[in-house]
Structure formats: structure tokens, C-alpha cells
Amino acid sequence: DSGVTQTPKHLITATGQRVTLRCSPRSGDLSVYWYQQSLDQGLQFLIQYYNGEERAKGNILERFSAQQFPDLHSELNLSSLELGDSALYFCASSVEPLTDTQYFGPGTRLTVL
Amino acid sequence: AQSVTQLDSQVPVFEEAPVELRCNYSSSVSVYLFWYVQYPNQGLQLLLKYLSGSTLVKGINGFEAEFNKSQTSFHLRKPSVHISDTAEYFCAVSSLANQAGTALIFGKGTTLSVSS
């Protein structure tokens, strides 16, 4: 158990819908990262927050957005869902960016039908 | 931009045999290197990381990796594998030079299959 929790574990929805994925980082970790894992693209960085502020963006679509709340939990919002958005979404957290170990949650498996 | 290449997508080995999973990275600046393991239906777990200092890094579960700056490689090794080592292994890099900031850039992964 990494100490990072993600809910829900599985999510099945239809095209065009909107979903919210939730992540609670390890106690004391200020950085939260979101990654997408799919068969064709592999593991790709989406977005990072540090202590409530957006720090970096990766290959995140405009239909996707995220935020980190004062209690440091984070939410990833995916809207106008397409079949290709089906993937495993991971949240990771660390104390310090760059060199500190990123601890990964168990992931949320999103299936868009 | 940073990139990571894992040279083998699948590596089948017999139990108790040695194994090497190869990883090359591209960079013109200092990088930090990581190996993560993903067991079926689970998240990623850190095996080891190289930040600075000794180029031979020891990790959990008997794994080690050697950082070679001239060859821009960070190969993962284990002298004797077990059935329980069957998993997906990811090499990753982070660097201040990344457009992605401090996020990890991952390779495509190597599936290690250990059979008896």
C-alpha cells in the first residue's frame, strides 16, 4: 500500500459524458501528478499540482481539467468523453518534486462505451 | 525533449536465471533515473532510483541498475529471478530540462515473464 488512494476503482460511462476522478495523496506530500496509461500511448504525464497550484502540464487534452484543494486532495475532470479516453488513470504524490520518489495510487480504470 | 527507450518489449526467462532489462535515455543535461515495477492490476512501485553519486544503484527485491552517462543507459539487472518477478517494468527519467517540469517521462515498458 503506497498510501495514495484513488476513487473510484472502476468507472464505466458513455461517450459524451463527464466524470470526476479523485486522489488523496500520502500524508505530508505536497505534489500531486496525474498520469494516463493506455495500450497505445503507454504511461503519459497529464498534469502536476504543488500545494494547490498548477506546476506543469503534459499531454492533457483541453477536455480534461484538474485541481488540487486546500486539503491537498486532487480531482481530475474528464468531459465530452470519447472512446479513446478509455484508460487507466494514475495519481502519484511526492514530498518534493524532481528527486523525491513518486508514490502511485492503484489507479482508476475508465471505460467509455 | 527528454525521451526514454526500453529496448525490449518482452523478456522471457527461466526461474533462477539472470536477467537484464535495457533502458536508454536521451538528454543533454543532468537527469534523475528511476525503475518502477507494475504487477498485474496494481499501481507502480519504485524499485530503485539514481540521483547522483555511485553509478551502481541497489534496489528492492534484489534488483540493481547501473548508470552509464557516456552510453546514456540505465540497465536493470537481477542475478537470479523468481516466478514472483513476473511483471511490467518501466524505466523513467525526470529533469529540470523537461517541459513537463518534474514529472516522470516513462519508457514503453518491458514485460518480464519468468517460468519454471
CA A50 to chain centre: 14
Q: What is the pLDDT of residue B28?
A: 64
Rounded Cα–Cα distance for residues A111 and B49 (Å): 33
A64 shares contact with chain B (CB less than 8 Å): no
Q: What is the pLDDT of residue B103?
A: 81
DSSP 8-state assignment for residue A31:
E
Nearest CA in chain B to A32: B103
Rounded Cα–Cα distance for residues A113 and B16 (Å): 43
Q: Residues, chain A, total?
A: 113
Distance from CA of A27 to the nearest CA of B (A): 17
**Facing A42 at nearest CB: one of B99, B101, B108:** B108
- Rounded to the nearest integer, the mean pLDDT of chain B is 91
Q: What is the pLDDT of residue B66?
A: 96
Span A83-110, pLDDT tens digits: 999 999 999 999 877 667 899 999 999 9
Half-sphere exposure of A6 (CA within 13 A, CB side): 28
What confidence category does residue A66 fall into, taking pLDDT thresholds of 50, 70 and 90?
Answer: very high
From chain B, the residues in CB contact with A57 under 8 A are 100
What confidence category does residue B102 fall into, taking pLDDT thresholds of 50, 70 and 90?
Answer: confident
pLDDT above 90 as % of chain A: 83
A45 shares contact with chain B (CB less than 8 Å): yes
Q: What is the pLDDT of residue A1?
A: 84
Distance from CA of B23 to the nearest CA of A (A): 15
Rounded Cα–Cα distance for residues A22 and A87 (Å): 15
E-strand stretches of A9-73: 10-13, 19-24, 31-38, 42-50, 53-57, 64-68
Question: Average pLDDT in the A10-24 region?
Answer: 98
What confidence category does residue B83 fall into, taking pLDDT thresholds of 50, 70 and 90?
Answer: very high
State yes or no: pLDDT of B98 exceeds 80.
Answer: no
Interface size A-B, in CB pairs within 8 Å, comes to 62
Residues sharing a CB contact under 8 Å with residue B53, sequence separation 6 or more, in sequence order:
none
Rounded Cα–Cα distance for residues A36 and B49 (Å): 22
State yes or no: pLDDT of B9 exceeds 80.
Answer: yes
pLDDT above 70 as % of chain A: 97
